[in-house]
Every structure is written in structure tokens, then in C-alpha cells.
Structure 1
């Protein structure tokens, strides 16, 4: 993506890459020193990932765990900082291991600089993930 890509356009593109299961391209949208935070992560899961390498390692097996089909109800809110957006959405699909439905609501606060994610604070619900059948002991992505 070009350096002048808006945070909204970058975020929408990142969702398309997740639906396409193109994790390497998704990771490529990150700045080298990008930080991903999970304030509500359950015990045993990371609360913070620092750097593109850590984010890549965390996301590597995502398509083997969750088959995402859509991100309905996407709302992207502008903030007073033009580099930062707040996104509300649902991720729907199925869990690969159990074939159970997956339906998770997310709120993310995302900052972009020079066309790359620099900060992504992911407010997801670990209780809903547990109810869906995700195994927290495996420490894998939601």
C-alpha cells in the first residue's frame, strides 16, 4: 500500500487479506516496530506483541484455527488524530478444529503512519471466544 494510504483504507484492505487467508500480506501491512495490544487477553495468551516478527509468529496459524467468512457490521470512526481510527465489527466464520460457528465482536483502536499499522489495540471478548470453543491453553490467536 502507498505511504499516503488512509487508516480507513488500510484497515479495510487488511480485513480483505484476512478473509483471503493471506497472512504474510497482512503482516506486511505492519511497521517493523508495530505494537499489537490485547487488553482483555486471558491468562496464557499474550497481552502485547512488539514488532512485525512477533505479530507474524502470533498470526501464522490463524487460518488453521479460524475460517473467517465475513466482517459484517463494520463501522470505522474517525478520531481527532487523523492517523487513528476506531473500528467496530463482527468476525464470522467457523472454528476449524470443531466446525463450530465463530461469531466475535471486536473494537479496535488503530494507528497508521506512512501507510503501515504502528499500533493496534484489539478489544475482543475472551468469554465469547471460550464459549465458541477456542482453547486458551494452546495460546493461539482468537
Structure 2
């Protein structure tokens, strides 16, 4: 376990997403990394498997913004596990006009190399589905 490394990875995670550096962001993931979205709606899939699909989805989402920032970011290592709990508030200006804001929490699991293997995200899909159309 390397909780300091995992917390640093999460800080980088939000930094890279806010810069739309998807190649750098994908380097944080294990090749077979998976994201679960328990409260998905008709816009998002319930899970996204592998770097290629993660990259496709996140590029599509974030290219809808002129800019995106993450505020109120809290990152906490889970004691005794290669796991991090995070809470954040995304704020973005949509290219189509308007703003997107939400509150999110997530659990991130890491492999022995410090790559993200599993990410479960909880957020309200209501504002998200009003703002985006994602290709599934």
C-alpha cells in the first residue's frame, strides 16, 4: 500500500482532467481499469471498461465544455487499503451555452504500480443528463 502515492495520483487526476490532458489522464489508469456508475441514467453506461472506452467517454464529455474545473476537492486515503475516497464539485461552462455543476463522490482502487483499477462514482445524473448526449 502506498497511500501518499495514491492521494498524489488523485490530485493529478483532477488537474489533468481540468486541462483536458486525456493522454496524461489515461496514464493514471491500469489497462483493464473500470469505472462503475451506480446512479447512471439513459445518458451514461452503468460501467466503462478499459482505457480505450474510458478515454472515449471522457473525451466526449469534456469536449462539450469550454472549460471545466473541480472545486472543493477532498481526497482521503482509506486506512489499510490501496483505496482513496474523494469528494469534489465539478463546475464547467458548456460550449452549447449554460453551466454544469454537481457534487460527486468516488472510491478509487489502485494496483501495486499505483494505477487506478476500479472507480465507482456517485453523483446526481439529473443535471448531467440535461446537459449532455453521450454516445454509448
Correspondence list, 1:121-136, <5 A: 121-130=120-129, 133-135=130-132
8 Å CA contact 2:3–2:77 kept in 1: the answer is: no
Structure 1 counterpart of 2:118: 119
Once the two structures are TM-superposed, the CA of residue 80 in structure 1 deviates from its matched residue by: 2.8
Structure 1 counterpart of 2:77: 78
Correspondence list, 1:1-142, <5 A: 6-98=5-97, 100-113=98-111, 114-130=113-129, 133-135=130-132, 138-139=133-134
TM-score with structure 1 length normalisation?
0.83
Once the two structures are TM-superposed, the CA of residue 67 in structure 1 deviates from its matched residue by: 3.6
**RMSD over aligned Cα atoms:** 2.2
Unpaired runs of at least 5, structure 2? none
TM-score with structure 2 length normalisation?
0.86
Count of residues in Structure 1 that have an aligned counterpart in Structure 2: 134
CA distance in 2, matches of 1:124, 1:140: 19
Once the two structures are TM-superposed, the CA of residue 40 in structure 1 deviates from its matched residue by: 0.7
8 Å CA contact 2:13–2:25 kept in 1: the answer is: yes
Unpaired runs of at least 5, structure 1? none
